[in-house]
Amino acid sequence: MIERQEIKTLLQDPPVNTRVTIMGWVRAWRGNRFMVINDGSGPETLQVVVDGERFDEETIRAIGFHACVGVTGTLAESQGAGQAVEVIAEEITIFGENDLSRYPLQPKKQSMEFLRDNAQFRMRTNTFSSVFRVRHGVAYAVNKYFHDRGYYYLHTPIITGNDAEGAGEMFRVSVLDPTNPPRTADGKIDYNQDFFGKATNLTVSGQLQAEIGAMALGKVYTFGPTFRAENSNTSRHLAEFWMIEPEIAFADIENDMDLAEDFVKYLINYCLEHYAADLQFLDERIQELEKNMKATDRRPMGLIDTLRFVVENDFARITYTEALDILLQSKTYKKGKFEFDLSWGTDLQAEHERYLVEKHFQRPVIVRDYPKDIKAFYMRQNDDGKTVAAMDVLFPYIGEVIGGSQREEREDRLRQRMAEMNVHADELEWYLQLRTFGGCPHAGFGLGFERIVQFITGMGNIRDVIPFPRAPRLAQF
């Protein structure tokens, strides 16, 4: 049996002058006497004093950067600055040597692209281990938030026959090629050649199935992988990302917005409370990165201050029409500095969303009541005949983190909208039946899990907050 103490626990209340055993990876050497160990339990490291009289030089040389070792020794108050305690090594076990001349990573600053290509080791760096601990914390907080409030976690399918968003951005699972399907001798599509006997794809959203849950369990949420074959070559898009989708019966767009704001604030608060050391490290990392930037390119507040600001202040709430007025009256628009043009009916681009959030309101913004033609078929039509009860939550640096809506519960309206938008009712007969039989007003939203993790960790690229990113030409591991 292997016995050891975890560094995070040891440092909480250090049992000075006792014998301890720690195991982990060498983060750095200070000279050839002090070895700095991290075991992944937290961002904390423990310094090990390696006495040259006790250990021969060859042993010490074999323990390079990121080598894996076990150390037994006395935990003592540290003589040096920078740490309260250190381990005076008595025994060292080398679990895994690390020959730096062949190891892909080196003990120096390395680019994010390079680390992405070496994802088998990038989690050993300070930045990535902090990011993935925080990611875990956000996932835990998601489940805790809903569980504590009486929601049920519903597992919705990954392989499905429908396109929930109607945007045609699905990855095909079925062998059936919709543009050139196999045919029988009499010219009909030969479904026998397919495992499912129909065209299937990876899910773009669990919403439609979550609505089934809400119409029986009242309050449900999904939290699973979703897939989009859209152009995801940006710093906020992935081809495979995780989405959290609550769906609630007896709720309208107001309930939906209140839930969204309360929920994201809870997630941020949870991390501030439980991942303070990781956030502190990430905060300092950003300050370091911004040192050489022009003042105008720097973020106005540090990471932790930004997170605190978001939880302590109300989100701004405006309609799409109001948002458009603000944008059209802005100096940026008047000087022709937006890349994409704007008029009533066009979708807001990331640059517009960021203007509203970062320049105009300087806080998160919820935009509601979008033109119906730029939104999905299932959203409830407003009485003006032009807009739907949709809402997007926009965050600084990220843009849209949440998209949601009140759902169209009136069957005739929904059928009509599906026809107008060329959404085939035959695939969604079951969905329509939720209206025919025992339906009610209901609403929900989708939070992009990686986008909120990106915001909380302050990472610049969404590919660096998911362990194994999937994007165009990026599918290693």
Judged by DSSP in three states, 188 sits in: coil
**Closest CB to Mg ion among 364 and 403?**
403
Count residues binding ligand 4AD (CB under 6 A).
Answer: 24
**Closest CB to ligand 4AD among 302 and 403?**
403
Q: Which residue in 73, 224, 396, 404 binds ligand 4AD (CB under 6 A)?
A: 404
Tell me which of ligand 4AD, Mg ion, none is bound by residue 127, counting a contact when its beta carbon lies within the kind-specific cut-off of 5 to 8 angstroms. Answer: none
| Nearest approach, Cβ of residue 210 and ligand 4AD (Å) | 7
Residue 265 interacting with ligand 4AD (CB under 6 A): no
Site for ligand 4AD in 234-263 (CB under 6 A): 237-238, 241, 243, 245
Residue 446 interacting with Mg ion (CB under 5 A): no
Residue 135 interacting with ligand 4AD (CB under 6 A): no
| Nearest approach, Cβ of residue 425 and Mg ion (Å) | 23
- DSSP state letter for 185: T
Selection from 211, 208, 229 nearest residue 220 by Cα: 211
Selection from 146, 310, 117 nearest residue 244 by Cα: 146
C-alpha distances out from residue 170 to 103, 164, 203, 207, 354, Å: 39, 10, 7, 15, 28
- Which stretch in 79-87, 96-104, 107-115, 394-402 sits in contact with ligand 4AD by CB under 6 A? 394-402
Residue 322 interacting with ligand 4AD (CB under 6 A): no
Q: Determine phi and psi for 386, rounding to 5 degrees.
A: -115, -30
Count of all residues that appear for the chain in the document: 477
**Closest CB to Mg ion among 224 and 448?**
448
Contacts of 127 (CB under 8 A, 6+ apart): 281, 282, 285
The rounded distance, in Å, linking the Cα atoms of 469 and 233 is 12
**Closest CB to ligand 4AD among 165 and 358?**
165
| Nearest approach, Cβ of residue 342 and ligand 4AD (Å) | 20
**Radius of gyration, alpha carbons of the chain:** 27
**Closest CB to Mg ion among 98 and 162?**
162
- How many CB atoms neighbour CB 109 within 10 A? 6
Selection from 91, 29, 90, 40 nearest residue 63 by Cα: 29
- DSSP state letter for 299: -
Residue 445 interacting with ligand 4AD (CB under 6 A): yes
- How many CB atoms neighbour CB 312 within 10 A? 10
Find out whether 199 and 179 touch, Cβ atoms under 8 Å. no
The rounded distance, in Å, linking the Cα atoms of 227 and 209 is 16
Tell me which of ligand 4AD, Mg ion, none is bound by residue 124, counting a contact when its beta carbon lies within the kind-specific cut-off of 5 to 8 angstroms. Answer: none
| Nearest approach, Cβ of residue 142 and Mg ion (Å) | 19
| Nearest approach, Cβ of residue 307 and ligand 4AD (Å) | 18
Residue 402 interacting with ligand 4AD (CB under 6 A): yes
Tell me which of ligand 4AD, Mg ion, none is bound by residue 241, counting a contact when its beta carbon lies within the kind-specific cut-off of 5 to 8 angstroms. Answer: ligand 4AD
Tell me which of Mg ion, ligand 4AD, none is bound by residue 237, counting a contact when its beta carbon lies within the kind-specific cut-off of 5 to 8 angstroms. Answer: ligand 4AD
**Closest CB to ligand 4AD among 364 and 448?**
448
DSSP strand pairing (240-249 vs 316-319)? unpaired
Tokens of 145: 């938030």
Site for Mg ion in 398-417 (CB under 5 A): 403
| Nearest approach, Cβ of residue 347 and ligand 4AD (Å) | 11
What is the three-state SS of 354-391? Answer: HHHHHHHHCCCEEEEEEEHHHCCCCECECCCCCEEEEE
Task: Please identify which residue in the block is written with the tokens 């040192």.
Answer: 291
The rounded distance, in Å, linking the Cα atoms of 380 and 277 is 44
Residue 70: strand pairing partners: 23, 93
x-marked contacts with ligand 4AD along 148-187 as a string, rule CB under 6 A? ----------------xx----------------------
| Nearest approach, Cβ of residue 405 and ligand 4AD (Å) | 6
How far from each other are the two terminal CA atoms of the chain, in whole angstroms? 31
The rounded distance, in Å, linking the Cα atoms of 409 and 439 is 7
| Nearest approach, Cβ of residue 400 and Mg ion (Å) | 6
Tell me which of Mg ion, ligand 4AD, none is bound by residue 358, counting a contact when its beta carbon lies within the kind-specific cut-off of 5 to 8 angstroms. Answer: none
Count residues binding Mg ion (CB under 5 A).
Answer: 1
Find out whether 163 and 199 touch, Cβ atoms under 8 Å. no
| Nearest approach, Cβ of residue 343 and ligand 4AD (Å) | 22
The rounded distance, in Å, linking the Cα atoms of 49 and 276 is 28
**Closest CB to ligand 4AD among 115 and 447?**
447
- Which stretch in 107-115, 129-137, 345-353, 399-407 sits in contact with ligand 4AD by CB under 6 A? 399-407
The rounded distance, in Å, linking the Cα atoms of 22 and 189 is 63
The rounded distance, in Å, linking the Cα atoms of 35 and 397 is 38
Residue 43 interacting with Mg ion (CB under 5 A): no
| Nearest approach, Cβ of residue 319 and ligand 4AD (Å) | 18
Question: Which residues in this chain contact Mg ion in the complex, by CB under 5 A?
Answer: 403
Question: Which residues in this chain contact ligand 4AD in the complex, by CB under 6 A?
Answer: 164-165, 205, 207, 228, 230, 232, 237-238, 241, 243, 245, 400-405, 444-446, 448, 450-451
